[in-house]
Structure 1
Amino acid sequence: MKGKRMAAIVLSLATVMALTPVASAFSDIKGLKGEKHILQLKERGVIKGDAKGKGAYHPQDKLSYAQAAVMLDEAFELSLAHILFVKEPKASDVYTKVKDNTWYSQAFVDGYHNGLIFDKDINPNAPISREEFAAQLMKQVDRLGDYALIKMYVGYTDEDKGKDEYKGEIQKLLLLKFAELNKDGSFNPTKPITREDAAIWVSNALKFVEEQFGDKEEEQGDKQVALSELTFKTEKINDDVNKVTVSATVPHPGYGMNISEISFEGDVAIIKLTQVDPNPDMMYPQVISTVTADTYISSQYKIKLIAE
């Protein structure tokens, strides 16, 4: 799922469910409140089942920090586009107990640079509380843009048991109906969130994202790609770092180019490039032109260019 446009996140939920084969259902979610939500996230590639291949989701299990990081990373397509790295970022650079080269390592890296930040000594296998997951989820929704929210207070009977730092995000979670209170009016803020409840909250959040930002993302996805004939040259800065200058041919000088993401696969640094579209209110000479963008990469990596 990584690397796809955000538009992939905002696919119509009706379409997703229409294409869901019966055989794709987990073996332990039939009849659950969260059944449809779990299936929706499975089809999006956000969640997976039993690592042993038994086709189970274990909906009542506690969600771990590692699972939460991966779920939110996949759901919101977290990217490192806004940072130019001179070396491959690693989870161990930030967290003392999060190992590198595990199934969850990249999610902690992506998250750290996109507002999904945990305590530095977090145990990735420990359960995450309902209030902290609520806060982390709402931070990712808020990052996508502004939206209207009627400021009303939603009271819950055990509000005094939670941390003050999470209460604002819990209010937004409840106002937007991503989550519901228990029948007794409680929220259980300090209890671990179950895998089922996490799926319900994230699924509802993505539906909201679709309604608020879907049209804008689809318009961006339909634009014509103008970058062609990609090339690069390197300039040695020191023994460890090279300056990489990327060049591309564009139809006229109104276009520009940005480096949108740098990822690493083995000894290869993959530089993804996006075009800057012309100002529609200006006239440009129809002359084929060259645009450039610079970044800095560790000298140990080979370079691969991709235009999006």
Structure 2
Amino acid sequence: MRSHTVTRMLAAAVATGLLLGVTPAYAFSDITDKGQAAIIQSLQDKGLIQGVTADKFAPNAKLTNAQAVQLIVDAIGLDAAKKKTDAPGWFVSVPQTAWYVPALKTALERGVTIDGTWNANANPTRQQFAKLLYLGLLQKGNYAKVSKYTPIADAKQIASKNRVAVEYLLLTKIATLDGKKNFRPTNAITRMEAAQMIYAAERMVNKSYASSGTATVTYKVENVDPEFNKVTLTRTNLPGNGYGLKIRRVDFVSDSEAVVIYEAIDPKPGSANIVYPATAVVYVPVVYDVTVKAQ
């Protein structure tokens, strides 16, 4: 999934203090919040982030455009497109040997639009990062569309071209508002803020839940009409005939959360030739954020 070698990544990280790369597992002394520490640990274990030193993550430091593109491409798992989009005119001025070029080319080829003259070392705002992340997610699947709008106190500061992206990330809980209902769209996004969004986005793209034994179930949410999302569950590691999947129920645990409960079906003795569906579908109103859980 990664487009360059670990050696190059580590070399670039030493030279520029990048957020991105593969590092050994360790705790950062400048992150004291348990929730943030858990997020950083998860992303670090997957080789998506690293600190600026062995002991410091610099959570409040600003992200760069180069780091943003690399992080999104790696976390979402974008790869080269079969039908490539032409590169914008400004791409010819980008040093072709730069560490971030493979990820930048992949993003552009997959249709992730980057407006204007791109500066690798400039700092994207929160709304600009939201737009890039939103476009990246669209390349991976037909996720739920924006069907309702969130009251945002500083909505007037969000550029019209970025509004749908911000609303989408809020709807899917990839992004959140602060205590005063502000998104702070014109603020430069920090390393911790980017990590939090990427953590949620990566989970949405790569969701899988294990039931008893070795059964693994993945799911995706697709918007099918203004009222309902289609939730498709797939059992991905069928060991043979007679193994399948059933949806038992949907629990509406709050006004905005729904949990789809499933059961992995294994063959009974002497019935291995019975075929059970490996996928199951349920429809959930669009107002609910969907998660999936084994019975």
TM-score, normalised relative to structure 1: 0.57
% identical aligned pairs = 28
SS in 1 for 2:105: helix
Once residues 158 and 62 of structure 2 are traced to their aligned partners in structure 1, the CA distance between those partners, rounded to angstroms, is: 18
- Say if 2:131 is the partner of 1:135: yes
Give RMSD over aligned pairs: 3.4
**Post-superposition CA distance 1:185-211 (Å, at most 9, x none):** 111111111110111011011222233
Other-structure match for 1:36 = 38
**Post-superposition CA distance 1:75-108 (Å, at most 9, x none):** 1222114158xxxx9x997525532212212111
Alpha-carbon spacing, 1:216–1:168, altered in 2? closer, same or farther (3 Å): closer
Matched ranges for 1:16-55 at <5 A: 23-31=25-33, 33-50=35-52, 53-55=53-55
Once residues 55 and 180 of structure 2 are traced to their aligned partners in structure 1, the CA distance between those partners, rounded to angstroms, is: 34
Cα drift, residue 212 of structure 1:
8.1
- What stretches of structure 2 of length at least 5 have no aligned partner? 5-22, 210-216, 221-233, 240-295
SS in 1 for 2:91: coil
**Post-superposition CA distance 1:260-308 (Å, at most 9, x none):** xxxxxxxxxxxxxxxxxxxxxxxxxxxxxxxxxxxxxxxxxxxxxxxxx
Alpha-carbon spacing, 1:161–1:80, altered in 2? closer, same or farther (3 Å): same
The answer on whether the counterparts of 1:97 and 1:124 sit within 8 Å (CA) in structure 2 is no
Alpha-carbon spacing, 1:66–1:148, altered in 2? closer, same or farther (3 Å): closer
Other-structure match for 2:281 = none
Once residues 144 and 208 of structure 2 are traced to their aligned partners in structure 1, the CA distance between those partners, rounded to angstroms, is: 9
**Post-superposition CA distance 1:54-83 (Å, at most 9, x none):** 342211011110110110111122211415
Cα drift, residue 183 of structure 1:
0.9
The answer on whether the counterparts of 1:41 and 1:203 sit within 8 Å (CA) in structure 2 is yes
Task: Specify the code of the residue in structure 1 equivalent to 2:91.
Answer: Y
**Post-superposition CA distance 1:216-241 (Å, at most 9, x none):** 79867889xxxxxxxxxxxxxxxxxx
User: Quick check: which has more Rg, 1 or 2?
Assistant: 1
Q: Which structure is higher in RCO with an 8 Å CA cutoff and minimum separation 6?
A: 1
Matched ranges for 1:63-78 at <5 A: 63-78=63-78
Once residues 150 and 105 of structure 1 are traced to their aligned partners in structure 2, the CA distance between those partners, rounded to angstroms, is: 32
SS in 2 for 1:34: helix
- Say if 2:151 is the partner of 1:155: yes
Cα drift, residue 126 of structure 1:
0.5
Once residues 174 and 81 of structure 1 are traced to their aligned partners in structure 2, the CA distance between those partners, rounded to angstroms, is: 28
Cα drift, residue 120 of structure 1:
4.6
Count of residues in correspondence between the two structures:
201
SS in 2 for 1:215: strand
Other-structure match for 2:278 = none
- Say if 2:211 is the partner of 1:208: no
Other-structure match for 1:98 = 94
**Post-superposition CA distance 1:165-193 (Å, at most 9, x none):** 00011111111111111111111111111
TM-score, normalised relative to structure 2: 0.59
1:119 alignment partner, one of 104, 115, 119: 115
Alpha-carbon spacing, 1:97–1:150, altered in 2? closer, same or farther (3 Å): closer
- What stretches of structure 1 of length at least 5 have no aligned partner? 5-20, 224-308
Other-structure match for 1:170 = 166
100-109 or 164-173, which deviates more: 100-109
